[in-house]
Amino acid sequence: MDPEALRRCMSFGFSDKQSDAFIGQYGNGFKTSTMRLGADVIVFTQNQNNWVPTRSIGLLSYTFLMETGCDDVLVPTVDYQYDLTTTSYVQMLRHDQKLFSSNLAILLKWSPFSTEAELLKQFDDMGDHGTKIIVFNLWFNDDGDMELDFNSDKKDILITGAHKKVKTNSLDKIAAQNYVSTRLRYSLRAYASILYLHVPDTFRIILRGCDVEPHNVVNDLMYRECVLYKPQIAGLTESSVITTIGFVKGAPDIDVQGFNVYHKNRLILPFWKVANNSYGKGRGVVGILEANFIKPTHDKQDFEKSVLYQRLEFRLKEMTYEYW
């Protein structure tokens, strides 16, 4: 990001996402997600798109705001630009030296870095462009434990206390506990493995030094079928949607069912249970679809309860029973 883009990203009440092509709309995703993980976040970003390469650093700190009693949300930022004469990055003054020095002093006092040199060293492993986000002062739960568990699995980040498995001799229950539909509730690695429907060859998610292998749930299905759905509203037909549906391996004994619903390639609803399987009907039936015709909520954890959403829910329920 260039300096202006960083300020837009970290500021509240601003968004330049006016097109339906964007996944997000209001620009709140970065702020709300990082502040949910910890009290403070510092962002390092390097940009090569403009004539003059730039580096920018911004701090969004709940600790700073509370300790100083700020009435407004202040986001101190500093910028640097590449100087051809010295072949190095020098301070870029958007206003004056006094403001730059004030922002830098706040960054050094309220971040994990005590000198300007330590701040700039964070760009050493970034390459020509990119963004690094560091969340610190992570939250603790009511028991005094960190909400995130970094110790139980050296290759994963877990939700503390949420991954305790029930002891059982039932192979079906063991299979259900180990399946991605259960693990994604507490495992970042499991969730990230199904987060995107299609993963480009040039895209990688690296978690704690190890690549996250994409998990295509379609490959878990037996007796697969593809069902075409054409949503309609006000007499107009929206884009057609193809749903892949089948029995997950181990069905119907394994207690797994539901639809993975994506929006613009990103998972919104994982294993959405639309059918009532109190009598076992629909048990083990899993489907995957990309529903770009309905709008996700701001937190990307659900869809807005529109007429199109309700019709989709009804059709997926029918689809489950028809397949069963």
| pLDDT tens-place string over residues 111-155 | 999 999 999 999 999 888 899 999 999 999 999 999 999 999 999
Q: CATH 3.30.230.10: which residues of the chain?
A: 218-323
**Phi then psi dihedrals of residue 265, to 5 deg:** 80, -5
Q: Does 296 or 234 have the greater pLDDT score?
A: 296
217, 260 Cβ separation under 8 angstroms = yes
Burial category of 74 from C-beta neighbours within 10 Å (exposed 0-12, middle 13-18, buried 19 and up)? middle
pLDDT at residue 232, as a whole number: 81
* Residues with Cβ within 8 Å of residue 260, at least 6 apart in sequence: 194, 217, 267, 269, 270, 271, 272, 286, 287, 288, 289
Q: Quick one: tokens of 312?
A: 């989709």
Q: CA 104 to CA 115: how far, in whole Å?
A: 9
pTM: 0.84
List the CATH code of the domain at 218-323. 3.30.230.10
Task: Find, among 136, 146, 147, 144, the residue nearest to 63 by Cα.
Answer: 136
Which helix H or strand E contains 270, and what residues bound it?
A: strand 266-272
Say if residue 32 is exposed, middle or buried (CB neighbours under 10 Å; 0-12, 13-18, 19+): exposed
Is cis: bond before 231, omega within 30 of 0?
no
Q: Is beta strand 241-248 parallel, antiparallel or unpaired with respect to 285-290?
A: antiparallel
128 C-beta neighbours (distance < 10 Å), count: 8
The tens digit of pLDDT for each residue in 193-219 reads 999 999 998 999 999 999 999 999 999
Q: In this predicted structure, what is the pLDDT of residue 27?
A: 57
Closest CA to 317 of 280, 273, 251, 283: 273
Which pLDDT tens digit goes with each residue over 33-62?
888 899 999 999 999 877 889 999 999 999
- In whole angstroms, give the CA distance from residue 173 to residue 253: 9
Distance CA 319, CA 322 (A): 5
What rounded mean pLDDT belongs to the chain? Answer: 88
Quickly tell me which residue has 């892949």 as its tokens: 244
Q: Strands 77-83 and 158-159, how do they pair?
A: unpaired
314, pLDDT greater than 60: yes
Residue 263 contacts residue 23 (beta carbons within 8 Å)? yes
CA distance 43 to 58: 5
Mean pLDDT value of segment 232-236: 71
One-letter identity of residue 300: K
3-state SS, residue 228: strand
